[in-house]
Chains A and B, each alone.
Chain A
Amino acid sequence: MSSLIEWISQPWPWYVAGPIIALVMFFLLYFGNTFGISSNLRTVCSIIGGGKNCEFFDFNWKNQIWNLVFALGLVIGGSVAHEYLSSSSEVNISAETVAELKAYGIENPGNHLVPKSLFTWESLFSIKGFVMLVLGGFLIGFGTRYAGGCTSGHAISGLSDLQLPSLIAVVGFFIGGLAVTYLILPYLLTL
């Protein structure tokens, strides 16, 4: 048993993760639902009363409880992986990425899941932290609902079903992501 835990505690390669993600999608379909995590954000808007002055949030959110439970599973899964199944906090990014981020002033790139200096409460009061976390989060919420889905709903579910709208959305994800990574982050990170 301990050798199994030790084995699981290594970082998992892409060819293990990808098929499991596909199986998660399959089981949600088999349970009579669909794989799409950003819908939970809309459900939360409905629960806190957003439906009173906006018809977009006026729906029976109780039909979405299953998805909130799924999201709760994500939090618990993250916690289990962190507490019991991780031998190290290092992320095995390429040497090229490490060198590049060092040049932008990120300390020890890849030593933790996220850049430690950015993902702090104090950082929210800096321009860099505010833009990346507060504005970034806002754009995720706005964009996913505008596009009708996020990585799970479009990139995985939609493309697996060979849907053209999802391909357009994924092209959009990359246009936005490349613009930030190539044009904005080099300035923002060195602020």
Chain B
Amino acid sequence: MKFLKYLFVGLIFGITLAKAEVISWFRIYEMFRFQSFHMYGVIGSAILIGIILIQFIKRNNVKSLDGEPINIKPKQFSIPRYLIGGIIFGLGWAMTGACPGPMFILLGNGIGVISVVILSAVLGTYVYGLVRNKLPH
């Protein structure tokens, strides 16, 4: 039962991204061609409200559901890791028109072949795990 709330939040997230067309390959193409404000509006307003919510958590020491303090771990600084890793992800994002969230939502939308994209992504993650010690981080 403790997982039910995650299922519910995931459900809301899935419906939202589907209804706002964020899961559409066409919307991602359009975004990278700067031909519409839509995706920038979605991501930009999410970040803006997100900044306000996180500042609210920090300033009021909001506790989690279990009564623990909410700690957001700062990410360790590096340039190559985020830049190179980010570029590699960006290449895949523009090709498939889907980032990891939308992949699962597209599966629910009946786009069966997206399961191949998901399996490929698992394989990509696995290969990263094998070679990560040889990469600049």
Report which A residues bind B (CB closer than 8 A): 8, 11-32, 34, 37-38, 40-42, 44-45, 50, 54, 56-57, 65-67, 69-82, 85-86, 91-94, 96-97, 100-101, 109-110, 113-115, 118-121, 123-124, 131-148, 150-152, 154-166, 168-182, 184-185
Distance of A83 from chain B, by nearest CB (Å): 9
A118: nearest chain-B partner, CB-CB: B25
A97 to chain B, nearest CB (A): 4
Task: Establish whether residues A114 and B45, one from each chain, have CB atoms under 8 Å apart when the complex forms.
Answer: no
Query: Chain B, 1-42, contact with A by CB distance < 8 Å: what is the 0/1 string?
Result: 001011111111111111111111111111111011111111
Docked CA distance A23–B127 (Å):
33
Asked if B122 contacts A45 (CB within 8 A), the reply is yes
CA distance in complex: A24, B42 (Å)? 14
Cross-interface CB contact of A162 among B12, B51, B88, cutoff 8 Å = B51
What is the 8 Å Cβ interface bit string for chain B, positions 100-137, against chain A (1 contact, 0 not)?
11011111111111101111111111111110100100
Complex contact B86–A114 (CB within 8 A)? no
Residues of A within 8 A of B16 (CB): 12, 16-17, 20-21, 24, 77
Inter-subunit contact A73/B43 (CB<8 Å): no
A48 to B: closest C-beta gap in Å: 8
**Residue of A80, A144, A156 ringed by the most chain B CB atoms within 10 A:** A144
Per the bound structure, the CA–CA distance linking A1 and B107 in Å amounts to 28
Inter-subunit contact B19/A11 (CB<8 Å)? yes
Please tell me if the beta carbons of B27 and A93 are within 8 angstroms of each other in the complex: yes
Given contacts A32-B66, A45-B126, contact A139 B13 (CB under 8 A): no
Q: Is the interface of B mostly helix, strand, loop or mixed?
A: helix
With A29-B64, A139-B91, A165-B78 given, is the CB distance from A144 to B125 under 8 Å? yes
Check if A70 sits within 8 Å of B129, measured CB to CB.
no
A124 engages B122 (CB within 8 Å) = no
Give the complex CA separation of A4 and B122 in angstroms. 39
Is the pair A31, B128 in contact by a Cβ cutoff of 8 Å?
A: no
Q: Which residue of the partner chain, among B42, B88, B94, B132, contacts A181 with CB atoms under 8 Å?
A: B94
Prevailing SS type, chain A contact patch: helix
Q: In the complex the two chains form, is A137's CB within 8 Å of B107's CB?
A: no
Residue ID in chain A nearest B22 by CB atoms: A17
A38: nearest residue on chain B (CB-CB)? B100
Determine the chain A residues whose CB is within 8 A of the CB of B72 once the complex forms.
29, 34, 157, 161
Chain A residues near B91 (CB, 8 Å)? Answer: 136, 139, 143, 176-177, 179-180
User: Which residues from chain B contact A82 at a C-beta distance below 8 Å?
Assistant: 18, 108-110
Query: Which are the 5 A-B pairs with shortest beta-carbon distances?
Result: A77-B14, A73-B10, A172-B86, A176-B90, A78-B108
Residue A139 contacts which of B92, B101, B111 (CB distance < 8 angstroms)? B92
